[in-house]
Every structure is written in C-alpha cells, then in structure tokens.
C-alpha cells in the first residue's frame, strides 16, 4: 500500500512539473509572437545592442555581481594610478577579515619597481586614493603587506536585500539580447530526513 501512495505522490509531482513546463512554453511562444509582430529591421544590429545595454544600465532593479563590480572599480584605480602598466594583476577575492579584499598591491609593487621593489603599503594607499566613489563600498582599509580590506556599505546591502524582496531576483544580462542563451534553473527537492544545504 505504501508503494502505491509513493507512486501517486511521484505522479502528482510529475504533473506539477509538466504544468510548469507547459506554462513556460506558452510564455515563450507569446514572447516570440510579440517580438515577430514588432520587428525593427531598419535599425542596425550595433544600435540595437547599444540601446539594450543602455536599458540594462538604467534598470535599477536588476542585480549586479558585487565581486565583479569591485573588480571593475579596482581595475579603474590601477589604470588611473599606474597608466604605464599593461596587464596589471587584478586580484579581488572574498575575505576572512572583511567582505572582500584586493591583493593586487604586492604583485604591483614588484611590477612597478622593477629591480627596486616599492613598498606594498604605499601601492595599496595609492590604489585607494584612485578608487572611484561608489555607494557599494563602506570602509576600505589597508592591512599589513598591502592587503586592501573592503567592507560593504550597510545601506547598500539593505537596499539590495529590499530590492530582491520587492522585485525578486532579476539578473542583469551581459550578453546581447539577440543572442540565443540558455539558462538552466534547478528547482530544489528538499528531503525532510536530511539537513538542507546548497551544493
């Protein structure tokens, strides 16, 4: 009897998944019909992609990768502080001492100084001076050996969380809208007999 109930439960789950897939297919067909009904063929492809990326930048509800944004900021700081360098090392990671840390000062001190090595603390302080202002970062401090610890601004974090709660997860696409990209979404199936975890 328990085998029959397990099969019924499995059947119910499969029916639910089937309905989700059918709804997704219907939504995709509607989107394709709408896009084919409103073609803008007089516009060149480059203009289309530019307008699409401009719309993404203005979309305040879309989420951005914090790590990617911090890497871009430190990349800008390195280019402004040391414009003579090409292929400068950009090392930004998660940190045990702060939210993120930039480890580029030590390798940069070897790059810049050549035979005469510069002090990594001086390089780190120079990078901080050239960091563009950003509401994402709260405290930016130099630790020993030139490590730059970055703590996120609490107001930025709370606004980001509120944005996700209000608008849901909206990932900002870096790809061209016309590209046919596939996104795989894995729905969880928690086992009540085990501890819930990711991975």
Rounded to 5 degrees, what are φ and ψ at 188? Answer: -80, 150
Split at pLDDT 50, 70, 90, the class of 181 is: low
86-95 contact pairs (CB < 8 A, 24+): 92/67, 94/67, 95/149, 95/150
**Averaged over 114-128, what is the pLDDT?**
82
Q: Which string of b and e fits 83-104 if b means at least 16 CB within 10 Å?
A: eeeeebebebeebeebbbbbbb
Domains of the chain, residue spans: 66-155
Q: How far apart are CA 74 and CA 64, in angstroms?
A: 16
**Averaged over 8-13, what is the pLDDT?**
85
pLDDT digits (tens, 9 = 90+) for 37-73: 765 544 444 433 333 333 334 445 556 678 888 888 8
- 152 strand-pairing partners: 137
Split at pLDDT 50, 70, 90, the class of 177 is: low
Q: How far apart are CA 19 and CA 11, in angstroms?
A: 12
Alpha helices (H) in the chain, listed in sequence order? 2-37, 45-58, 66-81, 105-113, 120-129, 154-167
pLDDT digits (tens, 9 = 90+) for 142-174: 888 888 898 898 988 888 888 878 877 766 655
Q: Which of 178, 177, 160 is nearest to 169 (CA)?
A: 160
Higher pLDDT, 1 or 112: 112
Topology (CATH level 3) of domain 66-155: Gyrase A; domain 2 (3.30.1360)
């Amino acid at each position: 009897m328990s085998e029959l109930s397990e099969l019924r439960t499995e059947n119910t789950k499969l029916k639910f998944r089937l309905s989700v897939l059918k709804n997704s297919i219907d939504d995709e067909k509607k989107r394709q019909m709408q896009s084919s009904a409103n073609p803008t063929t007089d516009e060149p492809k480059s203009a289309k992609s530019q307008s699409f990326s401009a719309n993404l930048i203005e979309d305040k509800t879309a989420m951005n990768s914090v790590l990617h944004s911090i890497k871009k900021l430190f990349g800008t700081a390195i280019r402004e502080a040391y414009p003579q360098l090409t292929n400068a090392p950009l090392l930004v990671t998660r940190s045990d001492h702060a939210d993120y840390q930039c480890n580029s000062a030590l390798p940069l001190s070897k790059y810049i100084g050549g035979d005469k090595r510069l002090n990594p603390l001086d390089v780190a302080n120079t990078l901080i001076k050239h960091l563009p202002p950003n509401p994402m970062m709260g405290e930016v401090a130099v630790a020993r050996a030139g490590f730059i610890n970055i703590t996120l601004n609490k107001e930025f974090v709370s606004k980001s969380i509120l944005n996700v709660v209000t608008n849901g997860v909206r990932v900002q696409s870096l790809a061209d809208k016309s590209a046919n990209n596939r996104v795989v979404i894995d729905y969880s199936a928690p086992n009540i007999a085990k501890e819930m975890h990711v991975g």
